[in-house]
Structure 1
Amino acid sequence: MPALRLTRFSSLRAFGHRDFVHVWSGALVSNIGTWMETLALGVYVTTVTGRAEATGAIAALTFLPAVVLSPVGGALADRFDRRVYLAVGTLMQVLLAAILTVLAFTGRLSVPAVAVISFLNGCAGTLTNPAFSALVSEIVPSEDLHSAVSLNSAQFNLGRIIGPALAAGVLATGGIAWALFVNTLSFLAVLVALSRVRASSKASVLSREELWPGIVRGARLAREDAGIFLIMMGTLIVAALVAPFIGLVPVFAIRVFHQGAAATSLLVTAQGVGAVTAAMMLGPLVERLGRKRLLEWCVLLIGPMAALYWMAPTLHAAALAIVGLGALYMSTLAGFNTICQLRAPRELQARISSLYGMMLGVGYAGGVWLQGALADRVGVRFVTASCALLFLALVLTMRLLLPRAFDATEAPTGHLSPGEARPSVGLEGHGDF
């Protein structure tokens, strides 16, 4: 589809690039399978253990490797052909999914086995995710990058809509083993998509730096660039205080509303509907409000919306609230990720993406485990709603103390050549927030 035919639909412009369509489609099929596995394992662990802490801990294990491996994944992704690198990582995930499937079919699935494989899956994902982000930046021009990031969030959340619905049906008819089997097959779509991606004419020169100096160089940029540093800190806080709503959905459905897989599927699907809707609206909203102002509004509203979700009196009220929460969460992270990619030089994009993933993983792993553990002791609603309101308090405090902080994210300075000077950007900008 020619890019010119999509100019009036700014949220869809990235679909005008053939390679992006292949990558997007393959990722969608894989994410449908992943969400089938996520829901199936979440219901399994919650049902077997009856503890929110256990469900939160399993969710945390998937993100825990990001604490150590994210910078390594980013540095490696800048050293190798990203398509080949992603293919190897995908094969690792196929193997792990197949092991889970065999355990389920033979009746040997257990919570410790789920924990170990969730951790290993987190390792594989952490090592490959920076390469995926950098590959998207490589095959899509910078003017369409926000569209590509939004559409990637949309496909992820389409998987969140379709996967749980399929999982609920499969769990009801065939059991957990068949849900895990479908996930194993879904990874093949990624391998097919990568085989059809052509080499990009703007692909950056592969990094020849040693691994550790390469990691240090990326970390130095994240520390010295005020815009990237601010986004990293914001990602950490959002991940710790708000994002645990994702991993604790089975707990909310089973412990609070006393229902099972169908209720869990409803809430996960509703979040996906909100996220996909927001992805379709992001392009026009960015053009009308500007990237910075839109991000300000998302950050201000996400805390109250999360509190509204956790305090919803009925399952259907919670489903309506999580539609809004899913939209705000997707919009916030898409804005964060786009700014990081735009501000980073092309040869450092994978490393900056890996540090962004590390902040997301560290915050989420700690937040979902701690909120789950506290929920077992003082109640799910009290803990989660309090964290959401704490996030709002932090945002309002920042607005009072650093009213111009977000100016550092306004003008992207990325995609510079290695020898080109980078403008100095401080927190003392000339805007609001």
Structure 2
Amino acid sequence: MSSPATTLPEAKPTLWTPFAFTVFRAIWIAGLVSNIGTWMQNVAGVWLVTTLTSSALLVALMQTATSLPAFLLSLPAGVMADLIDRRRLLLFTQAFMAVVATLLGALALTGQISALGVLGFTFLLGMGAALNAPIWQTVVTELVPRPVLPFAITLNGISNNIARAIGPAIGGVIIAYYSPGFVFLLNGLSFLGTWAVVYSWKRTAVAEDAGPVENFIGALRAGMRYVQYSPTLYGVLVRTFAFSFGASAMWALVSVVVARRLGLSSGHYGTMLSWLGAGAVGGAVLMGRAGSRLNFNQRVLLGSLAFVGTNAALALFTSIYWLYPVMFFSGVCWLMVMTSFSTTVQLNVPKWVQARVTSIYMLVFQAGLSVGSLVWGELADRATVSIALLGAAGWMLLSSLLALPFPMRSGENLNLDPAGHWPDPEVQGTVDPDDGPVVVMVEYEVAPANWPAFRQAAGQLTRLRLRDGALRAGVFADLAHPERITEFFYVATWGEHQRQHHRFTKEDQAVEAQVQQFHTGSAPPRVTHFLAFPKSSNIEMPMPLPGFGAQQ
């Protein structure tokens, strides 16, 4: 099964357009089966711990055991997904999770597992999921063209939520009539099915010249630096943590609400999650209708306010039948928020750093879930479950105010293809990619009347230099000739500067053009490259004072 040419059909894309691409369709179906197994596993694991211990904190830590590995491994996983063949990484992660789930099932069936043991195996499965997630998220960009990408991301969310609707119900039935151990074994089989589909995918890597190959540490820093100097992405991460921290109370404590506060069975717990999943699936259809009316910022704000009601309802309602529609509406809002976050990230990031930025987003999301689960679980143990859930509702209400300083911005119309317009620098002799540091200087002639506008445009360009690899950047005026203004940026190595050439996008080119329009010289702005003098120490050293070691 080879990768198809991602050619867009002539008709306007809809939610179902991604299914026209064969590989996407096959991987989506395999992912759906695996997601069903994962949700069966989640129900069985949480319920098994609930029956093995009386501590609400240990039950809440099941969410932490799932999320903490993502906090620890998301960044390394993102770097590997950008540097190593993604198909091979997927084969490894699927096989690893299959082995772990199967072993847990065998121990559960033989009665040789404790609550802490379930937590340990859940943590291992979380490690596999953490390594798998950035790859799975970014692979979709290779399977469909950019205009179809928002719909493909939404379909991936639907897959998880169909599984959330079906998996808990199936898992609850198996737990009630058989044993959680059988659920774990079925989950192991679901990973093997995904492994077989990925194995049959003959991936054609996109041949892009990105400059010299990055090392692991350099690639990690590049991803973090890209987020640091991208205001849109920074805002998404702030909103993501705030939302996941508050929403974690629902995921961490819903089993305690069902089992302890309402005194009901595992079947009711599974049904609660099924209503949540059904709401998410229904939300996909509603989003298609409301997509032109609500922007991403409004969707996230609405979802945050909805979860105020969700947490309050779980804290106060005494009938499970009132909670079912609440969970359905929560599922609608959950899908709406998560697809808004994910789509915003994917549409605002070029391919060279896509998996790294996606992994940072997932790290922040899982950090919110992990820390939130710990906080709300500890509060439930020290006070009551209802107080913990009401505290989470208050947090969600306050966090909705973040929509003002950190609005969400869509990147659907951005052109993030490499600009490829910078000529190779003129170099005498041979320069090793590891040589450095490098200083690049661009000289402009700018009339004094244009200085304020030039300064503002140059500030945007400076941010792009820092985002793409510069350690320092700035703009200076010649004191003898103030109209002569020099932009400079300082890069660690020659290889990193070469990579800068390939990272500059066509969208960035528009910012560069805004700066160059103020240049009044007869020739284009003069670009000069300086490499650290080979025999110099390249460190700042104080000059000796006369009489203190200096030769007289």
- Matched with 2:416 is 415
SS in structure 1 at match of 2:15: helix
User: Post-superposition shift, 1:175?
Assistant: 1.1
Please say which of residues 89-98 and 289-298 is displaced more in the overlay. Answer: 289-298
- Matched with 2:457 is none
Contact persistence 1:312–1:321 (CA under 8 A):
no
Q: What per-residue deviation string (whole Å, max 9, x for no partner) do you get for residues 370-399 of structure 1? A: 111111221112211221222212223x35
Change (3 A) 1:51 1:28: same
- Matched with 2:342 is 337
1:159 pairs, out of 156, 159, 163, with: 163
- Matched with 1:248 is 253
User: Post-superposition shift, 1:276?
Assistant: 0.9
Match status 1:37 vs 2:74: no
2:272 pairs, out of 263, 267, 271, with: 267
Trace 1:33-182 onto structure 2 (pairs within 5 A): 33-182=37-186
2:263 pairs, out of 258, 261, 265, with: 258
User: Post-superposition shift, 1:290?
Assistant: 3.7
Please say which of residues 314-323 and 201-210 is displaced more in the overlay. Answer: 201-210
Unpaired stretches in structure 2, ≥5 consecutive residues? 1-6, 419-502, 512-552
User: Post-superposition shift, 1:204?
Assistant: 5.5
State the distance in 2 between where 1:179 and 1:67 align. Answer: 26
Q: What per-residue deviation string (whole Å, max 9, x for no partner) do you get for residues 287-346 of structure 1? A: 343444434433443333443344323111111101111111111011001110110111
SS in structure 2 at match of 1:289: coil
State the distance in 1 between where 2:207 and 2:338 align. Answer: 25
Change (3 A) 1:419 1:35: same
- Matched with 2:325 is 320
Q: What amino acid is aligned across from residue 144 of structure 1 in structure 2?
A: V
Q: What TM-score do the two structures reach when normalised by structure 1?
A: 0.90
Q: What TM-score do the two structures reach when normalised by structure 2?
A: 0.72
Q: What per-residue deviation string (whole Å, max 9, x for no partner) do you get for residues 109-168 of structure 1? A: 111211211111111111121011110112121111111111111111111111111112
Q: What amino acid is aligned across from residue 164 of structure 1 in structure 2?
A: P
Match status 1:311 vs 2:316: yes
Q: What per-residue deviation string (whole Å, max 9, x for no partner) do you get for residues 185-241 of structure 1? A: 111221122133343575756892111111111111111111111111111111111
State the distance in 1 between where 2:315 and 2:209 align. Answer: 48
Please say which of residues 181-190 and 410-419 is displaced more in the overlay. Answer: 410-419
Contact persistence 2:52–2:114 (CA under 8 A):
no
- Matched with 2:355 is 350
- Matched with 1:214 is 219
SS in structure 1 at match of 2:317: coil
2:378 pairs, out of 373, 376, 381, with: 373
Contact persistence 2:102–2:185 (CA under 8 A):
yes
SS in structure 2 at match of 1:78: helix
- Matched with 2:407 is 406
Q: What amino acid is aligned across from residue 128 of structure 2 in structure 1?
A: A
Match status 1:386 vs 2:387: no
Query: If you compute each CA radius of gyration, which structure gives the higher value, 1 or 2?
Result: 2
SS in structure 2 at match of 1:108: coil
Change (3 A) 1:159 1:267: same
Please say which of residues 285-294 and 135-144 is displaced more in the overlay. Answer: 285-294
- Matched with 2:281 is 276
State the distance in 2 between where 1:292 and 1:399 align. Answer: 7
- Matched with 1:301 is 306
Contact persistence 2:237–2:364 (CA under 8 A):
yes
State the distance in 1 between where 2:91 and 2:209 align. Answer: 20
State the distance in 2 between where 1:39 and 1:280 align. Answer: 26
- Matched with 2:425 is none
Contact persistence 1:6–1:16 (CA under 8 A):
no
SS in structure 2 at match of 1:287: coil
Q: What amino acid is aligned across from residue 114 of structure 1 in structure 2?
A: V
State the distance in 2 between where 1:260 and 1:414 align. Answer: 53
Q: What amino acid is aligned across from residue 239 of structure 1 in structure 2?
A: S
SS in structure 2 at match of 1:65: helix
Number of aligned residues: 420
Q: What amino acid is aligned across from residue 327 of structure 2 in structure 1?
A: I
User: CA RMSD of the aligned region, Å?
Assistant: 2.4
Change (3 A) 1:233 1:21: same
SS in structure 1 at match of 2:140: helix
Q: What per-residue deviation string (whole Å, max 9, x for no partner) do you get for residues 44-95 of structure 1? A: 1111112211011122012112222111000001112211111111111011
The structure that is strand-richer by fraction is: 2
- Matched with 2:228 is 223
Match status 1:193 vs 2:197: yes
The structure that is helix-richer by fraction is: 1
Change (3 A) 1:236 1:407: closer
State the distance in 2 between where 1:203 and 1:294 align. Answer: 36
State the distance in 1 between where 2:383 and 2:207 align. Answer: 52
User: Post-superposition shift, 1:280?
Assistant: 2.6
2:15 pairs, out of 11, 17, 26, with: 11
User: Post-superposition shift, 1:281?
Assistant: 2.6
State the distance in 1 between where 2:93 and 2:205 align. Answer: 24
- Matched with 2:422 is none
